[in-house]
């Protein structure tokens, strides 16, 4: 069964892409090892857009903490990075207070424990398992991707407002002021941003075509792009965020949906709530790895990858990105993704064997199956017996998607926020809610449209991730925070979902990590982490270093275009099926992901920003 599926998957596989439009200028190749980080003594904000970063720094200067700045950046990106920044999508925010005093208005309540906010979209009540199938049971092309049917109930406004109310120091009105200003007064487009706005995804929907494409008179580099309708919506949210779910804004969204064959009703909006979940905690070479629990699949996959790799001395095996290192790391990726495909779904509706998956002795058993010289083919990969319960269904990886964004923030007290949020594909469903001026997500596509059937990308999704009212689709987004020394003695090896976090003494902050990139997200986070921790790269070099990825199925070792050709050839010679991104998907420009990272210099305490140069409008800044 597996080998047949693998064949289909390989033949149909498309590369993950960051930029979905042919007009986007190609990324400038960089000598990643020569790169140097942005430095700041007290606080740092790193995001894919310079105006959003500036918004975060402005709020820090006004006395805001990392959460205030994160909420400011989140709303600002909804204005200046409409491909992925959003109020019509959803995401995850990981908050790590620097001390047991906690952070913000809920400090006393939380005793300094880390917090994970799940503001992922939810399937509307009218959604059903077969909603994207035709009468013959075939998937209706694009139905879950484009247009009003593709959207889940958005969580971003609830998530950011919740973060501000509980963990911020300022007020929502204050932290939203920069976003409102950027929407009202506009921001200047670069060539890359102007090209992005020409997305065909936007052209087919009147309000999107009018707002983002000036009805066909496309914006050009250097022009100021203003969004008065969005400014008005943001102003209403700043005054009363509950209006988006229960009040006037909710009524307008529901009316728009009803008039456009959308599924989201006033009742769906009223039902939406942010879920505080216990972050997963793992360890790697003595460092604490704080990461994302389900409905993200990313955190547990990352922990498994790192557990397997903990048994190797990677720098001794070979230099950074050498074939020997790539081999062991790839084999760890392959094994973690096999488990991901077989076991994960929405934690509120499935029992997930997370604690078992995270056990070091399980990783020890996996490690014994790795041949030091050659790849294990995914078709022949056999999970070590006796560690995990039998998977009841054969599940397969999520496909890659095209736009999401991550940002990282550390404030002057050392509090850290790692946030990844998304509309899913670039510009989401393409649909702008008229007259509110914001794009709706196409996150419904992260559900399984049809169990055990390859989708357009040749990948198969699980029945456990089936569409059902109120369910949240499985995600790969993996905001992650690394600290030193570990505090696992108080947490146990992994916190069980739903368990009460134990008040504890936070260790010293080391890294704030995260990236977009669909199913490549956790291998990107792993690539960045290994680059710094094992190979000693600085954080800017880590962000820019060429990436490699394996996800079990398809059984293909993928490389970004910038990866050294001899290294790729060496992997081929070992028996891997290899692909360099640009060779099979020119739209991807040969890259994927977008790491927006922060490191703390362990000796001086200085903050170091790593801003991914795959895009040209981001910024790391601090003070
Ligand atoms: O939640 C997820 O895993 C996807 N919807 C994320 C999509 C994504 O990262 C696309 N970015 N390039």
Query: For 545-561, what is the HEC assignment?
Result: CCCEECCCCCCCEEECC
Let me know if residue 196 belongs to a domain: no
Note the pLDDT tens digit of each residue in 574-602.
Answer: 999 999 876 544 456 788 999 999 999 98
In this prediction, residue 326 has a pLDDT band, given cuts at 50, 70 and 90, of very high
Region 55-64: mean pLDDT is 98
Atom 6, ligand 1: residue with shortest CA distance: 518
Region 354-377: mean pLDDT is 96
Index of the ligand 1 atom closest to the CA of residue 120: 1
Number of domains the chain is built from? 1
Index of the ligand 1 atom closest to the CA of residue 443: 5
Q: Report the relative pairing of strands 38-40 and 432-433 from DSSP bridges.
A: unpaired
Taking residue 353's Cβ as centre, other Cβ atoms within 10 Å add up to 18
Note the pLDDT tens digit of each residue in 79-134.
Answer: 999 999 999 999 999 999 987 777 888 776 666 789 999 999 999 999 999 999 99
Distance CA 335, CA 511 (A): 25
Contact between 420 and 479 (Cβ < 8 Å): yes
Chain mean pLDDT for the chain? 87
Residue 28 has pLDDT above 80, yes or no: no
Atom 8, ligand 1: residue with shortest CA distance: 518
Region 427-441: mean pLDDT is 97
Residue 441 has pLDDT above 60, yes or no: yes
Is the CB of 476 within 6 Å of ligand 1? yes
Residue 452 has pLDDT above 60, yes or no: yes
Taking residue 76's Cβ as centre, other Cβ atoms within 10 Å add up to 32
Q: How far is the CA of 479 from the centre of ligand 1 (A)?
A: 12
Residue 289 has pLDDT above 60, yes or no: yes
Sign, Cα dihedral of 146, 147, 148, 154: positive
Distance CA 452, CA 463 (A): 8
Token reading at 55? 């918004």
In this prediction, residue 72 has a pLDDT band, given cuts at 50, 70 and 90, of very high
For residue 108, the model assigns a pLDDT of: 62
Is the CB of 301 within 6 Å of ligand 1? no
571: closest CA among 584, 557, 583? 557
Note the pLDDT tens digit of each residue in 291-320.
Answer: 999 999 999 999 999 999 999 999 999 999
Contact between 585 and 17 (Cβ < 8 Å): yes
For residue 507, the model assigns a pLDDT of: 79
Give φ, ψ of 438 to 5 degrees: -125, 150
Which one from 233, 404, 523, 578 is the annotated catalytic residue? 404
Distance CA 332, CA 336 (A): 6
Distance CA 388, CA 361 (A): 12
Taking residue 240's Cβ as centre, other Cβ atoms within 10 Å add up to 14
Token reading at 575? 């028996």
If one compares 457 and 596, the residue with the highest pLDDT of the two is 596
**DSSP 8-state class, residue 475:** B
Note the pLDDT tens digit of each residue in 222-238.
Answer: 999 999 999 999 999 99
If one compares 286 and 56, the residue with the highest pLDDT of the two is 56
Radius of gyration for the chain, computed over Cα atoms and rounded to the nearest angstrom = 22
Active site residue 404: yes
Token reading at 612? 């991914």
Region 192-214: mean pLDDT is 95
Region 124-147: mean pLDDT is 93
Is the CB of 477 within 6 Å of ligand 1? yes
The boundaries of the domain holding residue 53 are 41-186+226-279+396-622
Region 545-573: mean pLDDT is 92
Residue 14 has pLDDT above 70, yes or no: no
Region 15-33: mean pLDDT is 48
If one compares 507 and 233, the residue with the highest pLDDT of the two is 233
Let me know if residue 11 belongs to a domain: no
Give φ, ψ of 593 to 5 degrees: 75, 175
Residue 538 has pLDDT above 90, yes or no: yes
Let me know if residue 235 belongs to a domain: yes
Let me know if residue 453 belongs to a domain: yes
For residue 454, the model assigns a pLDDT of: 54
With the most atoms of ligand 1 within 8 angstroms of its CB, the residue from 422, 429, 478, 514 to mutate is 422
Q: Which of 155-164, 365-374, 447-456 has the lowest mean pLDDT?
A: 447-456
Let me know if residue 338 belongs to a domain: no
Taking residue 165's Cβ as centre, other Cβ atoms within 10 Å add up to 17
In this prediction, residue 503 has a pLDDT band, given cuts at 50, 70 and 90, of very low
Q: How many CA atoms lie within 13 A of 329 on its CB side?
A: 32
Q: What is the pTM of this model?
A: 0.91
Let me know if residue 219 belongs to a domain: no
Q: Which of 163-172, 260-269, 327-336, 343-352 has the lowest mean pLDDT?
A: 343-352
Let me know if residue 592 belongs to a domain: yes
Q: Which of 263-272, 400-409, 519-528, 574-583 has the lowest mean pLDDT?
A: 400-409
Distance CA 563, CA 492 (A): 38
For residue 49, the model assigns a pLDDT of: 98
Q: What does each C-alpha distance from 231 to 79, 113, 188, 214, 235 come to in angstroms?
A: 9, 35, 16, 17, 6
Q: What does each C-alpha distance from 132 to 443, 513, 543 come to in angstroms?
A: 13, 35, 37
Index of the ligand 1 atom closest to the CA of residue 594: 12
Let me know if residue 445 belongs to a domain: yes
Question: At 265, which CATH number?
Answer: 3.60.20.40
Residue 22 has pLDDT above 80, yes or no: no
- Going by C-beta distance under 8 Å and a sequence separation of 6 or more, which residues neighbour residue 376? 331, 334, 369, 370
Is the CB of 475 within 6 Å of ligand 1? yes
For residue 396, the model assigns a pLDDT of: 33
For residue 244, the model assigns a pLDDT of: 98
Q: How far is the CA of 215 from the centre of ligand 1 (A)?
A: 28
With the most atoms of ligand 1 within 8 angstroms of its CB, the residue from 85, 428, 516 to mutate is 516
Token reading at 453? 């059937």
Residue 487 has pLDDT above 60, yes or no: no
């Amino acid at each position: 069964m597996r080998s047949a599926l693998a064949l289909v998957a390989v033949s149909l596989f498309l590369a993950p892409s960051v930029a979905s439009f042919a007009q986007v200028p190609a990324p400038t190749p960089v000598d990643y090892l020569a790169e140097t980080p942005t430095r700041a003594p007290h606080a740092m904000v790193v995001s894919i857009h310079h105006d959003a970063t500036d918004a975060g720094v402005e709020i820090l200067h006004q006395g805001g903490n990392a959460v205030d700045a994160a909420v400011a950046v989140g709303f600002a990106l909804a204005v200046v990075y409409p491909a992925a920044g959003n109020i019509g999508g959803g995401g995850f925010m990981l908050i790590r207070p620097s001390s047991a005093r906690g952070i913000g208005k809920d400090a006393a309540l939380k005793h300094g424990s880390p917090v994970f906010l799940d503001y992922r979209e939810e399937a509307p009540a009218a959604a059903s398992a077969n909603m994207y199938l035709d009468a013959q049971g075939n998937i209706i092309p694009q139905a879950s991707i484009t247009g009003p049917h593709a959207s889940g109930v958005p969580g971003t406004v609830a998530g950011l407002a919740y973060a501000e109310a509980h963990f911020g120091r300022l007020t929502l009105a204050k932290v939203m002021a920069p976003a409102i200003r950027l929407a009202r007064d506009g921001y200047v487009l670069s060539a890359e941003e102007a090209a992005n706005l020409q997305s065909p995804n936007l052209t087919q929907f009147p309000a999107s075509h009018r707002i983002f494409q000036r009805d066909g008179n496309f914006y050009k580099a250097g022009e100021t792009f203003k969004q008065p309708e969005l400014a008005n919506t943001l102003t209403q949210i700043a005054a009363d965020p509950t209006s988006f779910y229960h009040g006037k804004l909710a009524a307008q969204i529901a009316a728009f949906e009803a008039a456009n064959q959308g599924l989201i009703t006033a009742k769906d909006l009223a039902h939406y709530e942010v879920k505080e979940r216990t972050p997963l905690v793992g360890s790697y070479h003595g460092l604490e790895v704080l990461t994302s629990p389900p409905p993200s699949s990313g955190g547990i996959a990352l922990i498994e990858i790192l557990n397997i790799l903990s048994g190797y001395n990677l720098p001794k095996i070979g230099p950074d990105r050498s074939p020997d290192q790539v081999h062991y790391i790839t084999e760890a990726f392959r094994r973690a993704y096999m488990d991901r495909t077989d076991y994960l779904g929405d934690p509120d509706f499935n029992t997930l064997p997370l604690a078992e998956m995270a056990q070091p002795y399980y990783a020890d058993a996996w490690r014994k199956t790795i041949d030091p010289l050659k790849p294990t083919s995914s078709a022949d990969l056999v999970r070590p017996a006796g560690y995990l319960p039998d998977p009841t269904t054969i599940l397969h990886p999520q496909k890659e998607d095209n736009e999401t964004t991550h940002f990282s923030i550390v404030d002057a007290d050392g509090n850290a926020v790692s946030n990844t949020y998304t509309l899913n594909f670039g510009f989401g469903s393409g649909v702008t809610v008229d007259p509110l001026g914001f794009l709706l997500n196409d996150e419904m596509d992260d559900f399984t449209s049809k169990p055990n059937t390859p989708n357009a990308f040749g990948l198969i999704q699980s029945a456990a991730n089936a569409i059902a009212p109120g369910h949240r689709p499985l995600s790969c987004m993996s905001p992650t925070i690394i600290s030193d020394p570990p505090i696992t003695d108080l947490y146990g090896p992994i916190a069980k979902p739903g368990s009460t976090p134990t008040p504890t003494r936070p260790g010293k902050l080391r890294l704030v990590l995260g990236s977009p990139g669909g199913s490549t997200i956790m291998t990107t986070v792993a690539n960045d982490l290994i680059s710094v921790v094992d190979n000693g790269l600085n954080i800017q070099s880590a962000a820019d270093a060429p990436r490699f990825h394996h996800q079990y199925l398809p059984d293909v070792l993928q490389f970004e275009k910038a990866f050294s050709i001899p290294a790729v050839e060496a992997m081929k010679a070992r028996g891997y099926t290899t692909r360099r991104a640009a060779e099979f998907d020119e739209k991807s420009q040969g890259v994927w992901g977008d790491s927006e990272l922060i490191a703390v210099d362990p000796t001086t305490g200085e903050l170091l920003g790593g801003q991914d140069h795959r895009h040209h409008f981001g910024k790391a800044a601090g003070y």
